[in-house]
Structure 1
Amino acid sequence: MKSAPPAAQDRMTPLDGGEVFSRLWPAADPAAPLILLFHDSLGCVELWRDFPAQLRAASGCAVLAYDRLGHGRSSPRAQWPELDFIRREALLLTELLAGWNIGRFIAFGHSVGGAIAAHCAALRPAACQALITESAQAFVEERTLGGIRAAQQQLSRPEQREKLRRYHGDKADWVLNAWVRTWLAPGFAGWNLAAELPALHCPLLAIHGEEDEYGSALHPRRYLSLSREAAELLLLPGVRHLPHREQPELVAGAVAGFLRRRLG
């Protein structure tokens, strides 16, 4: 009889600016690699739903997800994100990694979390074993801005705002407004990954839905252009901005196969 996987563990970690909530899905093998998940602009640990457990089962890796400050169960933020918030978010992770005694990791980021994960990989080349981006933006595209405007209109409805409160509590309005204000700010229009990021020196898998409403396939190709190591592109026909929710088994299996090929 197959034994049950180890139970998930929750932790609050003090960082500069407040406490951060995180959840670890331990691997059956303590020596297995760890995948660190970076959520999107409206996301949090709970919104990954069953995917971390599916990813652990497919890959054999431990999986760690955390709520950025202002999101989920982490401390609220009083200030709006700075225009260089993507790099700043990557720099904040030192205490979180130390709190879980994590030396090396595989970075997996969804949407803007992919850009944060890429910065984390570039800033910690000795620690990051591989980078996986999913639906990640690499620059400000009109398709991205149009998707944000449409989402802003949809989320203005009371029933949709209540869904955000279910995951972010009293921080829900800040979460939505921080996303919209930042990406639609004129000063953010020139942001692009290549201008900020040195070359990536770890294996890279870029996953992208062909019907992604927040970005065309130019984005994953831009990530691949920054890689100096083995890089793979997985374009998913008929898939929109949430591949890990729309096709969870396919995405988890693709990640597991990529890690077997590149890390052994």
Structure 2
Amino acid sequence: MVAITNQESWVMTPKGRLFVKRWVPSEEECVKKTPIVLFHDSLGCVELWRDFPQAISLATKREVIAYDRLGFGQSAPYPGELPVSFVADEANGAFSALLQSLGIEDFIAFGHSVGGGMACVCAAAFPERCRALITESAQAFVEDRTLEGIREAKKVFAQPGQLERLKKYHGDKADWVLSAWVNTWLSDAFRHWNLSESLTRVKCPVLAIHGDSDEYGSTQHPERIASLPSGPTTTRILQDCGHVPHREKAEVVVEATKAFLAQNGLGNQRAVQ
């Protein structure tokens, strides 16, 4: 049986350091496979992936890499307010620094929620290096359903003690994390944001996973994500599932990911030089 070891490190960027965690299989042939890079959601971080990275690493027999974006988890605070260009900025900012620091050649991008949007722009920015794109509950545009979900969440976090849930993972950055999510998405300047242009530049196979009961987005999002790339695309709509399939339907997501990668013959490159 393949054993998984955890490795923690830091990646330096011009705006501050990033916390990185890697799940590395023990067998040499597993390490040679293209790694999966995880992009967390708007309130997420490495630790909030919980046991999902290890499950994916074991199932696919390949390295999994997750990092805290600037302002989140154990990474450095974000310098100032989050700009409305933050999704597109990730590709040539923190993610580019991650690739260079870890010596990653080819990668598989896997993103949850807004992290799914970031995975899309990274696949578009590095079309010759991204071997596959997997989105989970990703938003492809600003939908009224998304905004309503954020407004409801804002009310919940305004209640006494609720912010402590974020402080457990983000520490003193918790207020910024919540404000960055709510204020950016509800701003007029962000109203017309979408992934359409980036998606037309995605050339790799795409798997778009979405719950049919996702409170932050309808199934129009995976449909949009699957309709624009030039490579083969697949949508997987999970029944009786909300916004976090990797927790609500973990086994289904793991098996869907494993099958998708196998069907597309992925994983023959050495991941780290």
- Give TM class, smaller chain: over 0.9
- Tell me if 1:232 matches 2:230: no
Aligned 1:15-34 pairs, distance under 5 A? 15-27=13-25, 28=27, 29-34=30-35
Deviations 1:181-221 (A, max 9, x none): 10000011011111455331000000000000000000000
Shift of 1:78: 3.3
CA distance in 2: counterparts of 1:79 and 1:60, whole angstroms: 39
Asked whether the equivalents of residues 59 and 253 of structure 1 are also in contact (C-alpha less than 8 Å), the reply is: no
CA distance in 2: counterparts of 1:158 and 1:36, whole angstroms: 35
Q: Which residue of 1 aligns with 2:269?
A: none
Q: Which residue of 2 aligns with 1:246?
A: 248
CA distance in 1: counterparts of 2:6 and 2:195, whole angstroms: 33
Q: Which residue of 1 aligns with 2:110?
A: 108
Which amino acid in structure 2 is aligned with residue 21 of structure 1?
A: F
CA distance in 1: counterparts of 2:157 and 2:16, whole angstroms: 27
CA distance in 1: counterparts of 2:265 and 2:215, whole angstroms: 32
- Tell me if 1:81 matches 2:82: yes
What is the DSSP-based 3-state SS (H/G/I as helix, E as strand, rest coil) of the residue aligned with 1:41?
coil
What is the DSSP-based 3-state SS (H/G/I as helix, E as strand, rest coil) of the residue aligned with 1:95?
helix
Aligned 1:2-151 pairs, distance under 5 A? 2=1, 5-27=3-25, 28=27, 29-92=30-93, 93-151=95-153
CA distance in 1: counterparts of 2:5 and 2:19, whole angstroms: 17
Q: CA RMSD in A?
A: 1.1
Asked whether the equivalents of residues 41 and 112 of structure 2 are also in contact (C-alpha less than 8 Å), the reply is: yes
Shift of 1:77: 1.5
Aligned pairs, number: 262
Asked whether the equivalents of residues 121 and 131 of structure 1 are also in contact (C-alpha less than 8 Å), the reply is: yes
Which amino acid in structure 1 is aligned with residue 15 of structure 2?
A: G
What is the DSSP-based 3-state SS (H/G/I as helix, E as strand, rest coil) of the residue aligned with 1:205?
strand
Shift of 1:155: 1.2
What is the DSSP-based 3-state SS (H/G/I as helix, E as strand, rest coil) of the residue aligned with 1:37?
strand
Shift of 1:134: 0.3
CA distance in 1: counterparts of 2:259 and 2:159, whole angstroms: 41
CA distance in 1: counterparts of 2:147 and 2:122, whole angstroms: 25
Shift of 1:33: 1.9
Asked whether the equivalents of residues 59 and 256 of structure 1 are also in contact (C-alpha less than 8 Å), the reply is: yes
Deviations 1:35-69 (A, max 9, x none): 00000000000000000001111111210000000
Asked whether the equivalents of residues 36 and 65 of structure 1 are also in contact (C-alpha less than 8 Å), the reply is: yes
Which amino acid in structure 1 is aligned with residue 173 of structure 2?
A: K
- Tell me if 1:212 matches 2:214: yes
Asked whether the equivalents of residues 41 and 113 of structure 2 are also in contact (C-alpha less than 8 Å), the reply is: yes
What is the DSSP-based 3-state SS (H/G/I as helix, E as strand, rest coil) of the residue aligned with 1:47?
helix
CA distance in 2: counterparts of 1:81 and 1:263, whole angstroms: 38
Q: Residue 191 of structure 1: which of 179, 190, 193 is its match?
A: 193
What is the DSSP-based 3-state SS (H/G/I as helix, E as strand, rest coil) of the residue aligned with 1:7?
strand
Which amino acid in structure 1 is aligned with residue 8 of structure 2?
A: D
Deviations 1:18-38 (A, max 9, x none): 000010001232212200000
What is the DSSP-based 3-state SS (H/G/I as helix, E as strand, rest coil) of the residue aligned with 1:159?
coil
CA distance in 1: counterparts of 2:52 and 2:99, whole angstroms: 21
CA distance in 1: counterparts of 2:134 and 2:107, whole angstroms: 11
Which amino acid in structure 2 is aligned with residue 9 of structure 1?
A: Q
Which amino acid in structure 2 is aligned with residue 7 of structure 1?
A: T
* Moved >6 Å (runs of 4+): none
CA distance in 1: counterparts of 2:71 and 2:254, whole angstroms: 28
What is the DSSP-based 3-state SS (H/G/I as helix, E as strand, rest coil) of the residue aligned with 2:4?
coil
